[in-house]
Amino acid sequence: MNQMLAMRVFRCIVESRSFSAAAERLDTTHSSVSRHLQQLESSLGVRLINRNTRNMSLSAAGERYYTACVDILDRVDAASRAVLLEQERPSGRLRVSLPLVVGTLEMAHWLPAFQQRYPDIQVDLSCSDSFVNLVADGFDVAIRICDALPDSSLVARLLMTSPMVMVASSAYVYNYGLPGTVAELDEHQLLSFASTTQWSLTSESGESVAVVTSNHFHTDTITALHACALAGGGIAPFTLSTVQDDLRSGRLVRILSNYTLGKRHYYVLYPHVRNLSAKVRAFIDFMADHYRSEQQPNLG
């Protein structure tokens, strides 16, 4: 027995005041309505409606059950309407996991526009460079930057591929000069992220060369690396997307612009591809449009 359907049939019988009228409202037959009621009464072990050939009336149990049915069915219908409305207009709390660099140095490029476009979405951001468990930790969606994604059951969509470039502040270049060759990097302060001890540089012609950084500066946070570079502490690697504003303003300048340190891929990850909520779909599509527009920044 479909209990929810049987409850709806019972409610319709009561409010229509007859089996025939209920059958007409439900676009079914008199026998089908009667069968649903009999199954419901059998499962409950009580008579809900007293009926004979001329009259019908609710039993005491039927009155109590009718009141409960109205409350339950109205709540279910209200929940369904809310979901349908959300699908039409994205809304609700959206939990997003971001790498630290996106949540600090890149967020100004997209968050205000997203909030303006979707004012009914409440964004809850968590910034961490660790690969969180989206399902276990209650996240709707995540963005990650990496060479390649580890195997997982998550759905992944590539947003952008950005080259890693070397930069330094104008003050640093003024004080220590601009290296003209890879070999001259040995004479400069090299700022590295995490435990990196070697940079692998690739020229425009495809030539690869390794640069040892173990005797220089290291930090485990991208914001500290960025702050140190801005302060004139040395030469640091970032994705081009991360430092685009600094390059445009002149706060940072490219070092050996004919070399890169490989590329980083920006991915958006989410647990489900079917029945994706409107708020998650809105975020994914928005970020895809945003990073598509940044794919080819015109920076030297």
Span 217-253, pLDDT tens digits:
888 888 999 999 999 999 999 999 899 999 999 999 9
Q: Is the pTM of this model over 0.75?
A: no
If phi > 0 it is left, if psi is from -120 to 50 it is alpha, else beta; for residue 46 that is beta
3-state helix, strand, coil in the chain (%, to 5): 40, 25, 30
Confidence of residue 300 (pLDDT cuts 50, 70, 90): very low
Give the integer Cα–Cα distance in Å for 147 and 262: 9
The whole-number average pLDDT for the span 258-273 is 89
Tokens standing for residue 105? 């140095």
Short-list 264, 268, 227, CA closest to 98? 268
Give the integer Cα–Cα distance in Å for 252 and 152: 37
The length of the chain is 300
What per-residue confidence (pLDDT) applies to 215?
66
Give the integer Cα–Cα distance in Å for 66 and 185: 81
CATH placement of domain 3-88? 1.10.10.10
Each residue's pLDDT tens digit, 2-48: 999 999 999 999 888 888 889 998 999 999 999 999 999 999 999 99
Ranking 147-156, 218-227, 290-299 by mean pLDDT, the lowest is 290-299
Per-residue pLDDT at 177 exceeds 60? yes
Q: How do the domains of the chain map onto residue ranges?
A: 3-88, 92-300
What per-residue confidence (pLDDT) applies to 185?
93
What per-residue confidence (pLDDT) applies to 154?
82
Per-residue pLDDT at 195 exceeds 80? no
Residue entry with tokens 């409010």: 15
DSSP 3-state assignment of 187?
helix
Answer whether 213's CB lies under 8 Å from 198's CB: yes
Q: What is the DSSP string of 162-173?
A: EEEEEEEEHHHH
Pick the CATH number of 92-300 from 3.20.20.70, 1.10.510.10, 3.40.190.290, 1.20.1050.10: 3.40.190.290
